[in-house]
Amino acid sequence: MNFNENQDHTIPKTHPRYQSLKYRYKIIEGMKNLVVAEAGLIAHGRGECFDYIIGEKTTEIAKKAIYAAVASILLADRPVISVNGNVAALVPRELVLLSNIINIPLEINLFYQKEGRVKAIKNELQKAGAKEIYGIDPKKMTELYGLDSNRKKVELIADADLVMVPLEDGDRTEALKKLNKKVIAVDLNPLSRTSLWADITIVDNIVRTIPEMIKVAKEIGKLDNFQLREIVNKFDNKINIQNSLNSIVEYIKRQKKKHLKQ
Ligand code: ATP
Ligand code: MG
């Protein structure tokens, strides 16, 4: 894929940071199209920083969390994926595919409301093939208890038993937990409030996580509830976060040895 910055600068595929730059420009394009909020650029940069010290690939630890996440979604009665601008800009097609494969609806939920943003995100998801998108019609929305920001306005999330929150803010994760909902977070920072509050924290980049979830869904989609429950019960999020932190430390040590020969 080619992508341009200001139409005149094509990044060659051989560029060592091609992938990272590709997604950076998707975020910039998203901002120009209203899909991404200005603050979304900063959130993306915060994520990139952690991705660097994770090694920019899905770790075995994240894969375990992904199995637990997919199994939990398959077991849930009323699961929902909460979609924000960054996610819609980065992986719209994959998101719609996942939604179809494991039968989990998509609900737009934004921290930064701006005239036309919900519509821009809706268009992005529809272009990617989404048939039904929630969180659009104010008449169908209710308010989530315990939250002051814009994100309190919800549709299916109000009655969901499980909410997957990619790139979420800590306040809402806390509010969702206090309402006894099961929360799956995708967050590159293992120490964010979201990561610490969630039941299942996938410490990985959303651009890798969603395709990996699709793979896992195809693999375990036919298991019975007993087998799915076994996957979920084996998973411990505290250990998962500890392991994620250890793997960052190990990665940095390996890089230090490799480049500084100490
Ligand atoms: P919290 O509110 O949970 O304490 P925060 O305030 O540090 O987190 P926010 O700006 O609220 O961060 O949310 C953005 C989060 O999303 C950050 O933790 C960042 O690491 C993460 N993030 C950004 N881009 C990605 C991505 N592509 N994949 C996964 N996580 C990402
Ligand atoms: Mg925050």
> What is the C-alpha separation between 239 and 10, in angstroms, rounded?
43
- Measure 170 CA to ligand 2 centroid, in angstroms: 5
Residue with tokens 């595919």: 97
Mapping DSSP to helix (H, G, I), strand (E, B) and coil, where does residue 155 land? Answer: coil
* pLDDT band with cut points at 50, 70 and 90 for residue 4: low
What is the phi/psi pair of residue 103, to 5°? 55, 55
- Measure 158 CA to ligand 1 centroid, in angstroms: 23
Residue 54 lies in a domain: no
Amino acid letter, residue 33: N
Per residue in 38-94, pLDDT (tens digit) is 999 999 999 999 999 999 999 999 999 999 999 999 999 999 999 999 999 999 999
Ligand 1 atom 7: residue of nearest CA: 192
Residue with tokens 């651009």: 207
Strand (E) or helix (H) holding 183: strand 182-186
pTM: 0.94
Q: Give residues (CB < 6 A) around ligand 1.
A: 43-44, 46-47, 50, 167, 169-170, 186-189, 192-194, 205-207
Residue 46 lies in a domain: no
Ligand 1 atom 16: residue of nearest CA: 167
Number of domains the chain is built from: 1
Residue 48 lies in a domain: no
- Measure 37 CA to ligand 2 centroid, in angstroms: 14
> What is the reported pLDDT for 151?
75
Residue 29 lies in a domain: no
Amino acid letter, residue 105: P
- Measure 45 CA to ligand 1 centroid, in angstroms: 9
> What is the C-alpha separation between 178 and 68, in angstroms, rounded?
21
> What is the C-alpha separation between 19 and 13, in angstroms, rounded?
8
Q: Is the pLDDT of residue 6 over 70?
A: no
Pocket test for ligand 1, best of 192, 195, 207 (most atoms within 8 A of CB): 192
**Exposure of 235 by Cβ count < 10 A (0-12 exposed, 13-18 middle, 19+ buried)?**
middle
Radius of gyration of the chain (CA): 18
> What is the reported pLDDT for 12?
82
Residue 41 lies in a domain: no
Neighbours of ion ligand 2 (CB under 5 A): 169-170
What's the whole-number mean pLDDT along residues 109-136?
92
Query: In the beta sheet, which residues pair with residue 82?
Result: 107
What's the whole-number mean pLDDT along residues 166-171?
90
Minimum-distance ligand to the CA of 195? 1
Q: Is the pLDDT of residue 217 over 70?
A: yes
- Measure 193 CA to ligand 2 centroid, in angstroms: 7
Q: Which atom of ligand 1 is nearest to the CA of 189?
A: 20
Amino acid letter, residue 179: L
What's the whole-number mean pLDDT along residues 102-118?
90
> What is the reported pLDDT for 81?
98
Residue 126 lies in a domain: yes
Residue of 242, 158, 146 lying closest to 203 (CA atoms): 242
If one compares 145 and 122, the residue with the highest pLDDT of the two is 122
* pLDDT band with cut points at 50, 70 and 90 for residue 8: very low
Residue of 47, 49, 19, 55 lying closest to 252 (CA atoms): 55
Strand (E) or helix (H) holding 165: strand 162-166
CA 187 to chain centroid: 7
> What is the C-alpha separation between 198 and 143, in angstroms, rounded?
21
> What is the C-alpha separation between 108 and 125, in angstroms, rounded?
10
Q: What is the CATH number of the domain that holds 93?
A: 3.40.50.12640
Residue 257 lies in a domain: no
Three state DSSP letters for 31-81 = HHCCCCCHHHHHHHHHHHHHHHHHCCCCCHHHHHHHHHHHHHHHHCCCEEE
Residue 148 lies in a domain: yes
Residue 84 belongs to domain spanning: 60-245
Per residue in 177-211, pLDDT (tens digit) is 999 999 999 999 999 999 999 999 999 999 999 99
Contact status, residue 74 vs residue 161, Cβ threshold 8 Å: no
Minimum-distance ligand to the CA of 36? 1
